[in-house]
Amino acid sequence: MIFKKRGIVAGIAALSLVLTACSGSDSAGNQPSGEAAEAVPAGNGEIHLGVAYETTNYHPSQTSSALALGTNWHVVEGLYEFNMDDYTVYPALAAGEPNWSSDTEFEVDLREDAKFSDGTPVTSQDVISSFDRSMAEGNLYTSMLSFIDSVDAVDEDTVKFTLNQPFSIATNRLVVAKIVPESATDDELTAMPIGSGPYKYVSITDSKLEAVPNEHYTGPNPAGADKIVWDVIKDDTARTTAATSGTIDVMEAVPAASAPMLESAGMTVAEVDGFNLPFMLFNTTKEPFNDPRVRQAFLYAVNTDMLIQNNMDGKATPATSFLPESNPAYNQAKNVFTYDPEKAKSLLEEAGVTDLNITLLTTDHPWISELAPQVQNDLQAVGIKVSLQSEASASLYANNLDVDTPTFDVALAPGDPSVFGNDPALLMNWWYGDNVWTTKRTFWQQSDQATWQKLQDIINEGAAAEGAAQQEKWNEAFDLISEEVPLYPLFHRTMLTGYNPSTVADFKPIGTTGLWAVTARSNR
């Protein structure tokens, strides 16, 4: 059976979070906010999850890996967490909602008897050190937490947050910082973190991760299986075979063409509209890519509808703004890059560009590799000579984009910061904030600092506002991004997830990368 869950339905709940000052949901599944759930016995078996990504960095305060973020949901907690199927917020390590004393100060009490999986109590010092790690200079998480001025201990079980500005979505954003022991080293956290979540890691290798119930867990979502196993199967065909043969219970990133095979094997295939996207990224310090007209020309030159039909089996929506239409804060941007090769040629002519010869870097993710030949052909059709160069993601960034003197031209790669949340400020700050994406990679801070700063001001004003005033700021930001396009999406994907209802119960498919089995139970 295939069913489709429209993101706009999930977005209704999320909208109240974005537009309501400093408040989170009072629910965690069906459990009262901040209250430990009555223990549900784990099934007498394992849940096997077939995942599509790989990594060697599981550090909860540093990683941006789709695999690590998805597995860590089950092992480490923030003060607050999302139900990832609808982005409603619930107290996790927090005992309840924040206690606000002003629009820039609040306190959070820790959950009673909260312990890490090694049995040591979670204290306010662990919270402080975890925020320090997440907000360290150069960390990708820093821009998502930049509204925080300080985190201080009130007592052993209470922390006080002081903000540098009113921030109406603070509770949502605290989800970003995961709490780990102050005593844990960065090497330990990178290799195998411990946390206070419902599961604890027992083994991590390149091909498999294993976690078992955390006997010290006191939160609202106790483990529903004796073991969760994440089988790392990057190849789509191999992952499909594992699903149809019953080797795995849940399959991430189901190719649309494989859905009928999974159905025939008794699996359900769920479709959820998401933010996940391929983006085109420009080296804005290099001529002619320092000219927004040239960057726009590239986007007009690509036949996105054909990309979606030929390579995504129709399971995506062309980008008409930075956000997908499923996000409650969506608004169509000033510039919509509908396929228009003549406009692309005109913009190149206006910019004085002729005989352009580029190398298009791409990551080696299978679905990105499949997009590259058509992108190459479309660009060549408007007079741009294109050579393709595919590299593993880590190599592409380390050797080409994260360097002091970049020589690359344009990159095509995937991304999805909605694993951290779906508020517009977070999503925009990920790629356009004060972090490696603009200090390196696009180098936008270096090439056009004034316009970059203008966008930061708009985003900050939006995060402090509420209601219609907030939406006006988001719209202003979407328009500016569509003018400058140092990095911009081609389309937003529909996420397909397969699962076997006869072996796993209460599994909830989500619209982002990763598999969220926090509330799932083994039926074995």
- Which of 301, 447, 443, 321 is closest to 385 using CA atoms? 301
According to DSSP, residue 258 is labeled G
The answer, yes or no, to whether residue 451 has pLDDT greater than 50, is yes
The rounded distance, in Å, linking the Cα atoms of 415 and 393 is 11
The rounded distance, in Å, linking the Cα atoms of 338 and 355 is 24
The rounded distance, in Å, linking the Cα atoms of 347 and 460 is 32
pLDDT in the model for residue 366 = 86
pLDDT in the model for residue 35 = 43
Q: Which residues contact 172 (CB under 8 A, 6 or more apart)?
A: 17, 18, 24, 80, 82, 87, 89, 421, 423, 426
pLDDT, tens digit, for every residue of 27-80?
333 333 334 444 344 456 999 999 999 999 999 999 989 999 999 999 999 999
pLDDT, tens digit, for every residue of 302-342?
999 999 999 999 999 999 999 999 999 999 999 999 999 99
| Residues 219, 196 contacting (CB under 8 angstroms) | yes
- Which residue reads 């090439």 in tokens? 447
The answer, yes or no, to whether residue 105 has pLDDT greater than 60, is yes
pLDDT in the model for residue 386 = 99
Q: Which residues contact 476 (CB under 8 A, 6 or more apart)?
A: 458
Q: Which residues contact 453 (CB under 8 A, 6 or more apart)?
A: none
Q: What is the pTM of this model?
A: 0.85
The rounded distance, in Å, linking the Cα atoms of 387 and 380 is 10
Q: Please, where are the H alpha helices in 82-174?
A: 124-134, 170-174
According to DSSP, residue 121 is labeled B
Amino acid at 225: A
| Residues 266, 500 contacting (CB under 8 angstroms) | yes
pLDDT in the model for residue 197 = 99
pLDDT in the model for residue 257 = 92
pLDDT in the model for residue 16 = 34
Phi and psi torsions of 379, nearest 5°: -65, -40
Superfamily the domain 277-494 falls into: Dipeptide-binding Protein; Domain 3 (3.10.105.10)
Q: Which residues contact 443 (CB under 8 A, 6 or more apart)?
A: 283, 284, 285, 406
- Which of 74, 369, 36 is closest to 250 using CA atoms? 74
pLDDT in the model for residue 46 = 97
pLDDT in the model for residue 40 = 40
Amino acid at 154: V
pLDDT, tens digit, for every residue of 199-247?
999 999 999 999 999 999 999 999 999 999 999 999 999 999 999 999 9
pLDDT in the model for residue 129 = 98
Distances (CA, A) of 191 to 144, 425, 433: 24, 31, 28
| Residues 506, 224 contacting (CB under 8 angstroms) | yes
More confident residue, 184 or 139: 184
Work out the mean pLDDT of the chain and round it to a whole number.
Answer: 92
The answer, yes or no, to whether residue 351 has pLDDT greater than 90, is yes
- Answer positive or negative: Cα dihedral of 61, 66, 72, 77: positive
Task: Assign 475 a pLDDT band (cuts: 50, 70, 90).
Answer: very high
Amino acid at 504: V
pLDDT in the model for residue 4 = 61
| Residues 62, 139 contacting (CB under 8 angstroms) | yes
Extents of the domains making up the chain: 277-494
The rounded distance, in Å, linking the Cα atoms of 371 and 123 is 48
pLDDT, tens digit, for every residue of 187-203?
999 999 999 999 999 99
pLDDT in the model for residue 41 = 45
| Residues 488, 481 contacting (CB under 8 angstroms) | yes
Angle at 375 between CA 369 and CA 380, to 5 degrees: 135
The answer, yes or no, to whether residue 23 has pLDDT greater than 90, is no
pLDDT in the model for residue 44 = 61
The answer, yes or no, to whether residue 11 has pLDDT greater than 60, is no
